[in-house]
A and B are shown apart, each in its own frame.
Chain A
Amino acid sequence: MTLTDLANPTKFLALTARILPWLAGVTAILLAIGLYQSAMAPDDYQQGATVKIMFIHVPNAWLSMFVWGVMSVAALGTLVWRHPLADVAAKAAAPIGAAFTFLALVTGSLWGRPMWGTYWEWDARLTSVLILFLMYLGLMALWRAVEDPSRAARAAAVLTLVGAINIPIIKFSVDWWNTLHQPASVLRMGGSTLDKAFLWPLLVMAIAFSLLFITLHLAAMRNEILRRRVRSLQMMQANRVAFTSEVGTGSRDGNASQEIGAA
């Protein structure tokens, strides 16, 4: 199967049916390993056991931005290449991205209270992530508001690409402005500043959460394709009913016009 074959929804569905069980299995195993390593990780000399929140907060924060990146590529696919699965991919990713962003915000808040002394601060990093969350909700609302999926796809694609400006702002907010949030400590020039005892569990959890996203995204895309199949069959059904009643009404109209003509 080539990449272009995946443009065909039927072939895409066949592929997901084959790989989803394997993906789900590998994700579950990696999550179990990551959770075990997180539980066994030593306490930080400053933060104590609270550092364990990092193993779930950071993967969710990375994915909140990564999912918007995926949606931005899909938006290009919709606007430029008009790929049949592009808007399916974008629509299916939005609720999952919103969930990851929500978790990044809440776990960050729960980590911030004992470490910073506050649940929330209106600084650049926290505020820009909150804006990202609101943009996810806005996109989901837009998809629901417009009935025709292809019209909704174009509007959502434009909004997604405009919203992509927020991603570098989130990433570099800790460098550009003074914030309570610490600067990058894993993906940075000069390598990670994290000790290996924390870095390995974090990387395993990050890979596990990324696989979780891929699994959920493929499953949600499959659902969206089926939803469109339901919609097109319902339209065929409605057309058939309309045609049948039109034929019936048409014959009555014919009689009526004959009667008028007769009059």
Chain B
Amino acid sequence: MSLGPYASFIVTSYALVAAVVLLLIVWIIADYRRQQAHLKEIEASGITRRSGRSAVDIR
């Protein structure tokens, strides 16, 4: 597969899209873990939800 004289423009475009999408995925996963850690920390201090269910349990 030859990309011709403008290969650098094509490769840069695809690489940039891959990088931004990966960044979004990593950011969302890290945010999820951060919120779970906060909830565990608060629950460990004895604060619970009014329903009595664990705040960390999402199932």
Chain A contact residues, CB within 8 Å of chain B? 10, 13-14, 16-17, 39-40, 43, 48-50, 52-53, 56-57, 60, 95-96, 99, 102-103, 106-107, 110-111, 113-114, 212, 216, 219-220, 222-223, 226-227, 229-230, 233-234, 236-237, 240
Q: Is the CB of B20 within 8 A of A103?
A: yes
Across the interface, which residues of B come within 8 angstroms of A236, CB to CB? 47
The docked-state distance in angstroms from the alpha carbon of A242 to that of B11 is: 58
For this complex, 30 residue pairs linking A to B, each with C-beta atoms less than 8 Å apart, are: A14-B58, A16-B58, A17-B58, A43-B4, A48-B6, A49-B2, A49-B3, A50-B6, A53-B9, A53-B13, A56-B13, A57-B13, A99-B20, A99-B23, A106-B13, A111-B9, A111-B13, A114-B5, A114-B6, A216-B28, A219-B28, A219-B29, A222-B58, A226-B32, A226-B36, A226-B39, A226-B55, A230-B35, A230-B42, A237-B42
Within 8 A of A (CB), among B1-46: 1-7, 9-10, 12-14, 16-17, 20-21, 23-25, 28-29, 31-32, 35-36, 38-39, 42-43, 45
By secondary structure, the B interface counts as: helix
Q: Decide yes or no: A103 and B36 within 8 Å by CB, A49-B10, A234-B42, A237-B45 being known contacts.
A: no
Q: Is the CB of A233 within 8 A of B24?
A: no
Across the interface, which residues of B come within 8 angstroms of A95, CB to CB? 24
Contact of A227 among B3, B12, B29, B35 (CB under 8 A): B35
Chain B contact residues, CB within 8 Å of chain A? 1-7, 9-10, 12-14, 16-17, 20-21, 23-25, 28-29, 31-32, 35-36, 38-39, 42-43, 45, 47, 49, 53, 55, 58-59
Closest CB of chain B to A211's CB: distance in Å?
12
Across the interface, which residues of B come within 8 angstroms of A114, CB to CB? 5-6, 9
Known: A216-B24, A226-B35, A240-B47. 14 other contacts (CB 8 A): A13-B58, A17-B58, A48-B4, A53-B9, A53-B13, A110-B12, A110-B13, A113-B9, A223-B35, A230-B35, A233-B42, A233-B55, A237-B42, A237-B45
Q: Decide yes or no: A107 and B39 within 8 Å by CB, A53-B9, A114-B9, A219-B28 being known contacts.
A: no
Across the interface, which residues of A come within 8 angstroms of B20, CB to CB? 99, 102-103
The docked-state distance in angstroms from the alpha carbon of A17 to that of B38 is: 19
Across the interface, which residues of B come within 8 angstroms of A220, CB to CB? 28, 31
